[in-house]
Amino acid sequence: MAGRLDGKVALITGAASGIGRGAVDLFVAEGARVIAADVQDDKGARLEEDHKGKAVYVRCDVTRESDVAAAVAAAKDRFGRLDCLFNNAGAGGPRETSDGVTAGSFDAVMHLHVRAAMFGMKYAVPLMKAQGGGSIISTASVAGLRTGFGPFLYSVAKAAIIHMTHVAATEFGPHNIRVNCLCPGLIATSIFGTGLGLPRQVADATVGAIAEGSKNAQFIPRGGLPKDIAEAALYLASDGASFVTGHALVVDGGLTLGPSVTSQMMAFAPIVQALGLDMAALQALAEKPS
């Protein structure tokens, strides 16, 4: 079913690569006009070239409130309205543990994720109220729901986005403004490479390897792709989700469901061996189709 966003205008942050670029491509294909906000000017220029007249690149550092306000204003100035705000910009951030956090790292991570999404809502909501409604989507993470899926500060920031989503949904629902967030699992983007200190171009080249290497990390046996998250964002942006608000939509291929049967058996290996049982036979039994 094509045209699910016909006539709608969206602002997507972090739009020039990864999940953001996937969302721009899909939103335009489904009929939307898009303000693509990012700080990667070269990729932004290519994005505009690929979607002539349907996507406009705006340089926007989401840690600067004035840039966020200008990006929202660009939607109104260029396309006359704003139907969807997708707060997507983010990064993996420092790998400091809770007993080693610095004030600078805390501020950087919270400004990039939490404050940026908050200011996005601050400036988008008045436009949406005036036109009778809209959809706000933020990229959270499974790291905001479970431990062990991201660094300390990143995980705390994503948990804050999830709760901010819940609170904002109660405030804006009476104005027909829906507020939801997405919780991706292992999605093949450059965030992993940049989080480990690789230069952006080198990190971009690792995406295929990440998809291949993570195909067995969850129950659905393939790597997660930006398009998987873009499809979820498309649903939340569309009229098909007109009765959905305050929801944290997990898109993780089953990653957060827990360990596989094989992994569970291996965890109990010391006990099985202590009882003198045959671990290989038990594992084969567990993997036998019913």
| Token digits of residue 193 | 């490479």
> How close are the terminal C-alpha atoms of the chain, in Å?
37
**259, 264, 274, 277 from 282: Cα distances, Å:** 17, 11, 14, 8
Please say if 235 is a catalytic residue.
Answer: no
Catalytic residue among 57, 123, 154, 235: 154
Provide the sign of the torsion angle of the four alpha carbons 248, 253, 256, 257, taken in this order: positive
| Token digits of residue 289 | 């189709």
Please identify every residue annotated as catalytic.
Answer: 154
